[in-house]
């Protein structure tokens, strides 16, 4: 398994269209370029749950770090803006070198550009989530693609010339990371209502890329 933390931002759609096969191709990653389509940027219909680090630099707005967090002190990360955030009600935060941060389970709404807090945050150290196991991780039923094919697609995906990551870019292309595992090329995104998975299925064929959503329905987490 190889993990890439590259943030795929503006311009990814044109690149994706040259990577995979036509929609419905029987061979993953084979064939000519797929029919052009616009990468979806779905908003969530109801409340969603984030389990993530919130980080704020002095003089800047807080960000919701749904992707990787650099192991430094203070940590470094980026993400979409988080609206309605109040450190006064966020227990277990830390401050150093002009940066305040903490890791929380946060319920809110997602409008495809920003996360808005709707309930007080819970420190992750005190949070006991329901187990959410993706059946595509079951080693007894792996995906159909060879690792060499998936690594080639991953290399092509990561070799594109993407724009630098800035806070305003997160709504343009909310892809966080990608990695190969159990016969799939996994893609982590901020939020998927199913439309991003369908987009990749059309570009690469079904069963090649597996999309995971960092934000999930708050009702799903409540059981």
Q: Does residue 220 belong to any structural domain of this protein?
A: no
What are the beta bridge partners of residue 179?
3, 186
Q: Does residue 34 belong to any structural domain of this protein?
A: yes
Question: Could you give the number of structural domains in the chain?
Answer: 2
Q: Are residues 114 and 12 in the same domain?
A: no
Q: Are residues 33 and 141 in the same domain?
A: yes
Q: Does residue 135 belong to any structural domain of this protein?
A: yes
Q: Does residue 223 belong to any structural domain of this protein?
A: no
Least-confidence region, from 137-146, 202-211, 214-223: 214-223
Q: Are residues 31 and 78 in the same domain?
A: no
Q: Are residues 158 and 203 in the same domain?
A: yes
What are the beta bridge partners of residue 82?
115
Each residue's pLDDT tens digit, 4-51: 654 443 333 333 433 433 333 444 443 323 344 577 889 999 999 999
Final residue belonging to a domain, choices 126, 157, 186: 126
Each residue's pLDDT tens digit, 96-138: 999 999 999 999 999 999 999 999 999 999 998 777 789 999 9
Sequential DSSP letters for 136-165 = GG-TTS--SS-HHHHHHHHHHHHTS-PPPP
Q: Are residues 181 and 148 in the same domain?
A: yes
Contacts of 164 (CB under 8 A, 6+ apart): 9
The gap between the terminal CA atoms of the chain, to the nearest Å, is 31
Question: Are 83 and 115 contacting, i.e. CB atoms less than 8 angstroms apart?
Answer: yes
CA angle 110, 121, 67 (to 5 degrees): 55
Q: Are residues 136 and 195 in the same domain?
A: yes
Q: Which residue range(s) make up the domain with 77?
A: 48-126
Q: Does residue 222 belong to any structural domain of this protein?
A: no
> Tell me, what's the pLDDT at 164?
32
Q: Are residues 162 and 205 in the same domain?
A: yes
Q: Are residues 135 and 209 in the same domain?
A: yes
Helix (H, G, I), strand (E, B) or coil at 43: coil
Final residue belonging to a domain, choices 71, 99, 126: 126
Q: For residue 213, what are the CA distances in angstroms to 4, 75, 126, 162, 187?
A: 16, 23, 22, 21, 9
Final residue belonging to a domain, choices 93, 126, 159: 126
Q: Are residues 101 and 200 in the same domain?
A: no
Q: Are residues 116 and 173 in the same domain?
A: no
- The radius of gyration of the chain from alpha carbons, rounded to an integer in Å, stands at 18
Q: Are residues 138 and 32 in the same domain?
A: yes
Which helix (H) or strand (E) is 184 found in, with range? strand 184-189
């Amino acid at each position: 398994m190889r993990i890439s933390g590259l943030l795929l931002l503006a311009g990814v759609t044109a690149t994706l269209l040259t990577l995979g096969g036509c929609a419905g191709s029987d061979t993953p990653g084979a064939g000519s370029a797929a029919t052009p389509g616009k990468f979806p940027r779905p908003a969530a219909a109801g409340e969603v749950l984030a389990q993530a680090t919130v980080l704020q630099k002095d003089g800047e707005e807080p960000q919701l770090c749904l992707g990787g967090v650099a192991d430094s002190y203070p940590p470094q990360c980026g993400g979409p803006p988080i609206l309605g955030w109040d450190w006064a009600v966020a227990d277990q935060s830390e401050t150093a070198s002009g940066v305040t941060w903490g890791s929380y389970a946060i319920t809110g709404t997602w409008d495809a550009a920003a996360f808005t807090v709707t309930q007080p945050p819970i420190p992750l150290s005190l949070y006991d989530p329901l187990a959410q196991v993706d059946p595509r991780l079951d080693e007894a039923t792996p995906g159909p693609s060879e690792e060499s094919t998936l690594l080639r697609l991953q290399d092509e995906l990561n070799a594109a010339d993407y724009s630098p990551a800035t806070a305003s870019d997160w709504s343009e292309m909310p892809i966080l990371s990608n990695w190969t595992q159990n016969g799939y090329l996994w893609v982590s995104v901020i939020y998927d209502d199913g439309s991003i998975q369908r987009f990749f299925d059309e570009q690469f064929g079904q069963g090649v890329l597996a999309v995971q959503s960092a934000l999930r329905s708050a009702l799903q987490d409540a059981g």
